[in-house]
Amino acid sequence: MAPQPKILVLHTSWRGRLLSFGSPLLLLAIGAVVVSGRAAVVGWFVIAVAVLLVLVGFLDYPLTVRLGPDGIERRCVARRSTLLWADVEAVVRPSVLQPGMLRWFGGNNGLAAEQGKRRYLLTDSLESEAENDALHTRLAIWDPGITILAPKPPPSSTPTWLYKRVAKEQRDPSGLIHEM
């Protein structure tokens, strides 16, 4: 019996994290200013939307994703959720933009897992070629029937862990990050 491949760890970008948590704070500040003015009802509505967005960010925006033999573990700020491979129908790019259009938007077009009509964000930026190859290799072992609709990223794509502090012993020679 061949040994199981190691768990693959992918990260979301700092830019995505800042936008996910910074935008609601900006809305909160705008709502506070509007409440103190003449349009209090509009201000309270903006504050309510901002609070809702903060909750969504804390509960559903992944910081790291661990892909293992049992499924996908998404680690968010306030919770962890697991998607079993049996429930995941496909791994796709979350954007509906065509690859040529991505240059205009900074090239961020990460990965999402499809489960029924719902998509779960895995990463918000392109993974490196090595990470993409590892993803394909592992999914062929862990769930051979899964559909992968995530085209290979360009060679210039940087790894998802590039700006994260990662222990050297977690990196293999190809630059992948694994859970030990």
DSSP state string for 110-164: -EEEEETTEEEEEESSPPPHHHHHHHHHHHHHH-TT-EEE-PPPPTTPPPTTTTS
Band (pLDDT 50/70/90 cuts) for residue 169 is very low
Residue 102 belongs to what domain range?
7-179
Q: Is residue 84 domain-resident?
A: yes
pLDDT tens-place string over residues 71-130: 999 999 999 999 999 999 999 988 655 455 444 444 457 899 999 889 999 998 888 888
Look at residue 103 and tell me if it is in a domain: yes
Give one word for 102, left, alpha or beta, with left for phi > 0 and alpha for psi -120 to 50: alpha
Q: Report the distance separating Cα 87 and Cα 141, nearest Å.
A: 16
Q: With respect to residue 1, please indicate whether it lies within any of the assigned structural domains.
A: no
Residue 67, pLDDT above cutoff 70: yes
Is residue 10 within 8 A of residue 16, CB to CB? The reply is no
Query: Is 2 contained in some domain?
Result: no
Cα angle value 149/14/161 (rounded, 5°)? 65
User: Rounded to whole angstroms, what are the CA distances from 169 to 13, 44, 69, 146, 173?
Assistant: 22, 50, 21, 31, 10
Q: How many structural domains are present in the chain?
A: 1
Rounded CA-CA distance 78/105 in Å is 29
Q: Which helix (H) or strand (E) holds 84?
A: strand 80-84
Of 62, 75, 69, 178, residue with least CA distance to 131? 178
Residue 32 lies in a domain: yes
Within a 10 A sphere around the Cβ of 137, how many other Cβ atoms? 12
Asked whether residue 50 is assigned to any structural domain, the reply reads: yes
Considering the entire predicted model, what is its pTM? 0.79
The C-alpha R_g of the chain, in whole angstroms, comes to 19
Would residue 59 count as lying in a domain?
yes
Contacts of 149 (CB under 8 A, 6+ apart): 90, 91, 92, 93
E strand or H helix that includes residue 49: helix 40-60
pLDDT in tens, 4-62: 788 899 999 888 888 888 888 899 999 888 888 778 888 899 999 999 999 999 999 99
Whether 175 is in a domain gets the answer yes
